[in-house]
């Protein structure tokens, strides 16, 4: 079963749900994440850092909760906190992330703006295995698009997200079939 971690609007979570993948539970680092409302009747919960003595304690609690819902594969769908070993060790080689750039270029929370500022001619989306670094870990799949003259962060991100919404469910489906 799949556990999805979210922090934002949750369009990638929606793509996983629309693909009818076996999502068992949704967790967030933010109680006010709009993405949580997409979970509907699925078990969903928030694990705010402020409620725990340390990030490792929060991550351990989140991992425990997901395991309790039979989660074996974790998908970060716009989850904007780093995960510690307290979480990653519970799901070895089974945590994946989607990111709006051609990693390893432009990791981090402002990848779209940074690509435009750098004047790149090509962008894209990456799905990769997660380690303790910032958007690091082995790349599983990547798809490219051209950056167009006049692109704004919004227009570029919209085209990247259209890729993400196809690429992420495809990779997750492949991982479920392992």
Active-site positions?
Answer: 99
* Contact set for ligand GAR, span 13-52 (CB under 6 A): 35
Q: List the x/- string, 102-141, binding to ligand GAR by CB under 6 A.
A: -------x-x-----------------------x------
Selected range binding ligand GAR among 6-14, 48-56, 64-72, 146-154, rule: CB under 6 A: 6-14
For 82, phi and psi rounded to 5 degrees? -70, 150
CB-CB contact of 141 with 163 (8 Å) = no
Selected range binding ligand GAR among 5-13, 39-47, 84-92, 145-153, rule: CB under 6 A: 5-13
The verdict on whether omega for the bond into residue 104 sits within 30 degrees of 0, i.e. cis, is yes
Strands (E) across 7-107 are located at: 23-28, 44-46, 73-76, 95-99
Those residues with Cβ within 8 angstroms of residue 128's Cβ, 6 or more apart along the chain or in another chain: 96, 97, 99, 103, 135, 136, 137, 138, 139, 140
Look at residues 87, 98, 80, 43 and name the one whose alpha carbon lies nearest to residue 62.
Answer: 87
Q: Residue with the closest Cβ to ligand GAR? A: 78
Q: Which of 99, 123, 124, 127 binds ligand GAR (CB under 6 A)?
A: 99
Closest CB to ligand GAR among residues 17, 77: 77
- The helix/strand count (H/E) of the chain reads as 5, 7
Q: Using CA atoms, how far apart are residues 101 and 113, in angstroms rounded to an integer? A: 11
Closest CB to ligand GAR among residues 90, 128: 128
Number of residues that bind ligand GAR (CB under 6 A): 16
Selected range binding ligand GAR among 18-26, 49-57, 62-70, 92-100, rule: CB under 6 A: 92-100
Residues making contact with ligand GAR (CB under 6 A): 8-12, 35, 77-78, 98-100, 109, 111, 135, 161, 164
């Amino acid at each position: 079963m799949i556990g999805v971690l979210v922090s934002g609007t949750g369009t990638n979570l929606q793509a996983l749900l629309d693909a009818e993948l076996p999502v068992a539970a949704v967790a967030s680092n933010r109680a006010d994440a709009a993405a949580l409302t997409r979970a509907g009747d699925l078990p969903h919960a928030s694990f705010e850092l402020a409620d725990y003595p340390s990030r490792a304690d929060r991550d351990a609690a989140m991992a425990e909760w997901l395991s309790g819902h039979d989660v074996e594969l974790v998908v970060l769908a716009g989850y904007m906190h780093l995960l510690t070993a307290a979480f990653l060790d519970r799901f070895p080689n089974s945590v994946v992330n989607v990111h709006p750039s051609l990693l390893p270029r432009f990791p981090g929370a402002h990848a779209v703006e940074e690509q435009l500022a750098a004047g790149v001619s090509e962008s894209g989306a990456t799905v990769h295995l997660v380690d303790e670094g910032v958007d690091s870990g082995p790349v599983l799949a990547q798809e490219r698009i051209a950056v167009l003259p006049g692109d704004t962060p919004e227009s570029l991100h919209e085209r990247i997200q259209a890729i993400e919404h196809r690429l992420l469910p495809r990779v997750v489906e492949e991982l479920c079939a392992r």
